[in-house]
A and B are shown apart, each in its own frame.
Chain A
């Protein structure tokens, strides 16, 4: 079933004299329960695309539908409520509140949705167990490793059972071991919980955990590959092939 439908969206920056087309007529669909990765070099427009989908930024033209609701038409207050009720975020720099413990950070996502305090504890503990962070729940962000922080952020993103989880370079600030652990967690969430995940990355290794990879170059879709029945290793090699085709500047990020 189609969850997210993106129709001819465009995003321009600057004035008429010096126009930058960050996103230039992109259309694609994401189905329920899919794990999609969006790849591209720096400046290719992938983060702009994610920001448009997450309603943090506004599109210049085109429409984005989440379950037949046009989110480009949302305004002011509706935006925050929409994000709160439908989306889960995982950021490169974790975006945890440094004044709160891991537990409180995760609980915050629920308490702002006015979930009763009784239900919060069981939900937080369940999510923490799934992501293997039970033992750090009472620690503050500065007491945790990067991988732990990112898994706390992931727990916060999934705990509200959002329709779509958006991850912006989630492994960007992690060492390879932590990155691997996080990506495994994400794919487990995807397969076991049927969570729909959209991940922006320039790292082919991260992208190989997805089921589908969309490549973007200069604001346009360059190509798209499906994992299908291939093993992760084979899929990874295929991604590398496309990157080679795409041009040198992404490969240096591998």
Chain B
């Protein structure tokens, strides 16, 4: 009997359940997709050489999943509370008929189980389907080898999803029982009868609060640009200021908006505007806190998604510019010429001949003057400069002819120097800034007792020695050959680099040569003995770790971003729908006094649109400044293209947030039309 009742209840309130169902469905699929990533073949081949990064990623995903589950759980409770409210009349009838609260609770339990099971199963099916799409996407995004692509279903992810959502449903059920236990029949009966009391806030107070909010935000925005001048916990202070000010702005806007429009008599008394803005303002008034949270979540979402894309984009593109050769081995020598044990000699003694594998080879020796350290160079900088952390290292000196030889190999621009000139090469952004600053004040340096002048006013960011995936050149000085030759008895050999190209563009061939070379290397050079530490760098390895890192960052960004976006959309949508349902009589009345359907639709569209737009507008403003901060961090990691990622982000936002808006508008329209 109770089961029958539950079933018919669901059928009856299918429209109310639609958004709830939709939300759980997306939640389940997103949850599954991200937790099943480890079993995606495409993903594994993409980064087969960087297993450790995948493991790191899985650990992070596990932690994130708990966080995401909490967010989704709260969303579920919120959505459920909305449904309970909508049905309070129904519960009142049950109670009046003499049904006990226990029986009503069991009806609800059955309903939750039915809805939960259906949405869980549908969500999982959607998730399994979509995860295939994701793996194709991953493959596409990171140029992975798709040859081993096959249909996979991750049992562990399914089990995990079921367990997590099972717990969430359990919480929802307990929550339902508790709410129902507390309510009194009279409250249930009178629910919805209470007339909306529009509390008018004091306008002067509102304006003051608004100004405080705007000033606070301006301060936070202003400070975020200079965040590196402060301690890191200052960031937390700024975030707190930002959040509080967001709340203040919503609080004051909710109070002022109506007054502002009301003062514009022409606008206010045109068509349905008075009605539209009253509706909107009552909605915002009851949701100041939620609006704040939604706005902040949207802000985090925008920053997360765009940073994720930005990292991916730049990692793919910087790889080619920063890794123009295939193989590099290097070692620190730190000895004078006469005592030096050269890398080439060491390799020869070990029987490792790199030239067997390469078409082109360049051997570069760098020197240093023990009296010319970073501290000497940065003598006039204050202590906060990042250069100071390197202060004890002698600066690396590269003879021009050797430098040009390497640049030829890399396919980059060669340089010329007068005999008293030098070029400082550096591309790691924060260090470059300090070095540029020093050069702009003093272009002269003293090496082995002779004075040299910088050829350029700032660092050359084109030249580098070490193969890498990012801009990480801390700086070296290109000096005329004669300077080293003249002072060879004073100069120390700093390091030696052997850089080579396989001479083929074909990826598979590269891989084959690389594997042979690495086997040879591992057999002969690695494990290090003789206290001779050889650094080994290859394009294939760098590419693999880059892909791993990029996947990791992109997916974490997308995961959290998507969940937040869904949560925001769902909360706004549910609120709007419940408001529409509560306003059915109002719309009926409007029709009775002869308002055209077209005008009603327009009013509804404006209400829904403004309601969705308000938190978004502030979130976008936040993001413009927040992204400047993430850009600074990203730049230090080597990413610098923000534009295309902003594009991608807007597309995703438009698709999901806009989707929620359109669904909400259409559903609301349907709700207010239904009653004749």
- List A residues at the B interface (Cβ < 8 Å): 54, 56, 76-77, 80-85, 87, 89, 91, 95-100, 104, 107-112, 114, 117, 120-121, 140-142, 156
Q: Is the beta-carbon distance between A156 and B596 smaller than 8 angstroms?
A: no
Other-chain residue from B269, B273, B589, B596 in contact with A97 (beta carbon distance below 8 A): B589
Q: Is the beta-carbon distance between B272 and A117 smaller than 8 angstroms?
A: no
Bound Cα distance from A198 to B275, whole angstroms: 28
Q: Is the beta-carbon distance between B195 and A140 smaller than 8 angstroms?
A: yes
Task: Report chain B residues within 8 Å CB of A108.
Answer: 272, 274-275, 593
Task: Report chain A residues within 8 Å CB of B265.
Answer: 117, 121
Cβ-based interface call for B586 (8 A): yes
**With A107-B269, A117-B265 in contact, is A156–B593 under 8 Å at CB?**
yes
Shortest distance in angstroms between A40's beta carbon and chain B's nearest beta carbon? 22
**With A99-B282, A100-B275, A100-B278 in contact, is A109–B593 under 8 Å at CB?**
yes
Q: Is the beta-carbon distance between A112 and B598 smaller than 8 angstroms?
A: no
Bound Cα distance from A83 to B275, whole angstroms: 19
- Among A83, A96, A97, the most chain B Cβ lie within 10 Å of the Cβ of A97
Q: Is the beta-carbon distance between B274 and A87 smaller than 8 angstroms?
A: no
**With A98-B195, A140-B198 in contact, is A80–B594 under 8 Å at CB?**
yes
**With A108-B275, A111-B270, A117-B265 in contact, is A89–B593 under 8 Å at CB?**
yes
Other-chain residue from B268, B282, B599 in contact with A112 (beta carbon distance below 8 A): B599
Bound Cα distance from A120 to B275, whole angstroms: 16
21 contacts between A and B (CB under 8 A): A76-B597, A77-B598, A85-B594, A89-B592, A97-B586, A97-B589, A97-B590, A98-B586, A99-B275, A99-B278, A107-B274, A108-B272, A111-B273, A112-B590, A112-B593, A112-B595, A112-B596, A117-B268, A120-B269, A140-B197, A141-B195
Other-chain residue from B195, B271, B278, B593 in contact with A83 (beta carbon distance below 8 A): B593
Bound Cα distance from A66 to B299, whole angstroms: 58
Q: Is the beta-carbon distance between B586 and A99 smaller than 8 angstroms?
A: yes
Q: Is the beta-carbon distance between A82 and B274 smaller than 8 angstroms?
A: no
Shortest distance in angstroms between A76's beta carbon and chain B's nearest beta carbon? 8
- Among B197, B266, B275, the most chain A Cβ lie within 10 Å of the Cβ of B275
Residues 266-290 of chain B, each 1 if its beta carbon lies under 8 Å from chain A, else 0: 1011111111001100100000000
Which 7 A/B pairs are nearest by Cβ-Cβ distance? A84-B594, A83-B594, A142-B195, A99-B278, A117-B269, A98-B195, A95-B589
**Complex: chain A residue closest to B270, CB-CB:** A111
Bound Cα distance from A89 to B592, whole angstroms: 8
Shortest distance in angstroms between A29's beta carbon and chain B's nearest beta carbon? 24
Bound Cα distance from A247 to B594, whole angstroms: 37
Bound Cα distance from A85 to B269, whole angstroms: 18
Bound Cα distance from A109 to B273, whole angstroms: 12
**Complex: chain B residue closest to A88, CB-CB:** B593
Task: Report chain B residues within 8 Å CB of A95.
Answer: 585, 589, 592-593
- List B residues at the A interface (Cβ < 8 Å): 195-198, 265-266, 268-275, 278-279, 282, 585-586, 589-599
Task: Report chain B residues within 8 Å CB of A89.
Answer: 592-593
Shortest distance in angstroms between B439's beta carbon and chain A's nearest beta carbon? 66
Bound Cα distance from A110 to B270, whole angstroms: 9
**Complex: chain B residue closest to A107, CB-CB:** B269
Shortest distance in angstroms between A169's beta carbon and chain B's nearest beta carbon? 15
Shortest distance in angstroms between A142's beta carbon and chain B's nearest beta carbon? 4
Task: Report chain B residues within 8 Å CB of A91.
Answer: 592
Task: Report chain B residues within 8 Å CB of A87.
Answer: 594
Bound Cα distance from A76 to B198, whole angstroms: 34
Task: Report chain B residues within 8 Å CB of A107.
Answer: 269, 274
Shortest distance in angstroms between B283's beta carbon and chain A's nearest beta carbon? 10
Shortest distance in angstroms between B190's beta carbon and chain A's nearest beta carbon? 13
Bound Cα distance from A98 to B583, whole angstroms: 10
**With A99-B196, A117-B269, A142-B195 in contact, is A77–B595 under 8 Å at CB?**
no
Shortest distance in angstroms between B279's beta carbon and chain A's nearest beta carbon? 6
Task: Report chain B residues within 8 Å CB of A98.
Answer: 195-196, 586
Bound Cα distance from A117 to B273, whole angstroms: 12
Shortest distance in angstroms between B266's beta carbon and chain A's nearest beta carbon? 5
**Complex: chain A residue closest to B598, CB-CB:** A77
Other-chain residue from A56, A104, A120, A142 in contact with B592 (beta carbon distance below 8 A): A56
Q: Is the beta-carbon distance between B279 and A99 smaller than 8 angstroms?
A: yes
**Complex: chain A residue closest to B194, CB-CB:** A142
Q: Is the beta-carbon distance between B272 and A111 smaller than 8 angstroms?
A: yes
Q: Is the beta-carbon distance between B196 and A80 smaller than 8 angstroms?
A: no
Q: Is the beta-carbon distance between A100 and B592 smaller than 8 angstroms?
A: no
A85-B594, A111-B271 given; 20 more Cβ-contact pairs under 8 Å: A54-B592, A77-B598, A80-B595, A83-B593, A84-B595, A91-B592, A95-B585, A95-B589, A97-B275, A97-B586, A97-B590, A99-B275, A99-B282, A104-B278, A110-B269, A112-B272, A112-B594, A112-B599, A117-B265, A142-B197
Task: Report chain A residues within 8 Å CB of B591.
Answer: 80
Bound Cα distance from A84 to B598, whole angstroms: 14
**Complex: chain B residue closest to A140, CB-CB:** B198
Q: Is the beta-carbon distance between A111 and B598 smaller than 8 angstroms?
A: no
Task: Report chain A residues within 8 Å CB of B273.
Answer: 111
Task: Report chain A residues within 8 Å CB of B593.
Answer: 83-84, 89, 95, 108-109, 112, 156
Task: Report chain A residues within 8 Å CB of B598.
Answer: 77
Q: Is the beta-carbon distance between B596 and A80 smaller than 8 angstroms?
A: yes
**With A99-B282, A140-B198 in contact, is A111–B594 under 8 Å at CB?**
no
Bound Cα distance from A125 to B77, whole angstroms: 49
Task: Report chain B residues within 8 Å CB of A99.
Answer: 196, 198, 275, 278-279, 282, 586
